[in-house]
Amino acid sequence: MLKKLVEMVNSAKCFTVLADETTDISTQKQASIGVRYLYNNDIKEEFLQFVPVSDLTGKNLATVILKSLREFGIDTKYLRGQGYDGSAAMSGKFEGAHADVMEERPTAIYFHCVSHSLNLAISASCSISEIRKCCGTATKLCLFFNTPKRMEVITRAIDKLFPEAKSTRLKQLCPTRWVERHDSILLLQEMLPAVQEALEEVSQWKDVELASMASQLLCGLLSSSFIISLQVMARVFSLSLPLARFLQHEHIDLLNAMNMVTNLKGTIEKIRTNAEEEFATIFNASETMAELLSTSIKAPRRTGRQTLRCNIETDNHNPQSYFKISLFLPFLDHFLSELNSRFLKH
State whether residue 308 is helix, strand or coil.
coil
Q: Looking at residue 92, what is its pLDDT? A: 55
Q: Looking at residue 224, what is its pLDDT? A: 92
Q: Looking at residue 261, what is its pLDDT? A: 85
Which carries the bigger pLDDT value, residue 26 or residue 190?
190
Span of 20-24, 176-180, 181-185, 277-281 with lowest mean pLDDT:
176-180
Q: Looking at residue 212, what is its pLDDT? A: 94
Span of 8-12, 67-71, 163-167, 326-330 with lowest mean pLDDT:
163-167
Burial environment of residue 148 by CB neighbours within 10 A (0 to 12, 13 to 18, 19 or more): exposed
Inform me whether the pLDDT recorded for 311 exceeds 60.
Answer: no
Q: Looking at residue 107, what is its pLDDT? A: 87
Inform me whether the pLDDT recorded for 192 exceeds 70.
Answer: yes
Q: Looking at residue 329, what is its pLDDT? A: 92
Span of 65-79, 193-207, 307-321, 323-337 with lowest mean pLDDT:
307-321
Helix residue spans in 145-177 (DSSP H): 148-161
Inform me whether the pLDDT recorded for 115 exceeds 80.
Answer: no
Phi-psi region of 60 (alpha: psi -120 to 50; beta: other; left: phi over 0): alpha
Please enumerate in sequence order all residues whose Cβ is within 8 A of that of 237, keeping only pairs 6 or more positions apart, or say none: 181, 182, 185, 186
- Which contiguous run of DSSP H or E holds residue 312? none
- Tell me the mean pLDDT in the region 332-346: 80
- Tell me the mean pLDDT in the region 278-302: 89
pTM metric for this prediction: 0.78
Q: Looking at residue 242, what is its pLDDT? A: 84
Inform me whether the pLDDT recorded for 304 exceeds 70.
Answer: no
Residue percentage of the chain with pLDDT more than 90:
27
Q: Looking at residue 87, what is its pLDDT? A: 67
- Tell me the mean pLDDT in the region 247-275: 86
Q: Looking at residue 89, what is its pLDDT? A: 62
- Tell me the mean pLDDT in the region 55-78: 86
Q: Looking at residue 180, what is its pLDDT? A: 64
pLDDT tens digits, residue range 222-236? 999 999 999 998 898
From 310, 345, 315, select the one nearest 331 (Cα to Cα): 310
Inform me whether the pLDDT recorded for 269 exceeds 90.
Answer: yes
Strand 42-52 versus strand 29-39 pairing type: antiparallel
Q: Looking at residue 208, what is its pLDDT? A: 92
Where in the chain are the domains?
2-112, 118-344
What is the residue-wise DSSP string for 51-109?
EE-S--SHHHHHHHHHHHHHHHT--GGGEEEEEE-S-HHHH-TTTSHHHHHHHH-TT-E
Inform me whether the pLDDT recorded for 113 exceeds 70.
Answer: yes
Strand 15-23 versus strand 79-84 pairing type: parallel
Please tell me the CATH code under which domain 2-112 is placed. Answer: 3.30.420
